């Protein structure tokens, strides 16, 4: 994995982010399901990384998965995110990171049967995103 384009120390990230944002974005936490700002949002626009402002997802790829977090079937650009194995919590998952600053965003799952073009569900924490309406 290449180095992030945006590199800050933990203290610099703590100054930039709220404690809740830091816990999820920089420490790979997870916000509680059905509590996030964008879980049910239907506003058209671009979802940016809350940590660095990089474009990550678009509303046109967002779908209702009823899982408790915003779900997308594809990133806005294939280079917008990095995928890496995550074997934490006793299970095998694929973690989704912002390619620009390597902040934790959530996880991607495949083969769940959602009627999407990619059969993927990028399950992303709302707290990691900032919606810029179009």
19's tokens: 């404690």
Q: Tell me how crowded residue 55 is: count the other CB atoms within 10 A of its CB.
A: 15
101 is catalytic: no
Alpha-carbon separation of residue 109 from 6, 20, 36, 76 (angstroms): 27, 24, 19, 17
Say which residue the tokens 């495949």 belong to. 110
Contact between 118 and 72 (Cβ < 8 Å): no
10-34: burial string, b at 16+ Cβ within 10 Å, e else: eeebeeebeeebbbbbbebebbeee
Catalytic residue among 52, 98, 101, 123: 123
Q: Tell me which residues are annotated as active site.
A: 123
């Amino acid at each position: 994995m290449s180095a992030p384009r945006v590199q800050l120390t933990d203290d610099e990230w703590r100054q930039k982010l709220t404690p809740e944002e830091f816990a999820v974005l920089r420490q790979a936490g997870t916000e509680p399901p059905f509590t996030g700002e964008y879980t049910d949002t239907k506003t058209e626009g671009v979802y940016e990384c809350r940590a660095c402002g990089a474009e990550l997802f678009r509303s046109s790829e967002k779908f209702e998965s009823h899982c408790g977090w915003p779900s997308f079937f594809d990133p806005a650009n294939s280079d917008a995110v990095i995928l890496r194995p995550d074997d934490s919590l006793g299970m095998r998952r694929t973690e989704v990171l912002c390619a620009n600053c390597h902040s934790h965003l959530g996880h991607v799952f495949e083969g769940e049967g959602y009627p999407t073009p990619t059969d993927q569900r990028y399950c992303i924490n709302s707290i990691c995103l900032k919606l810029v309406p179009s």
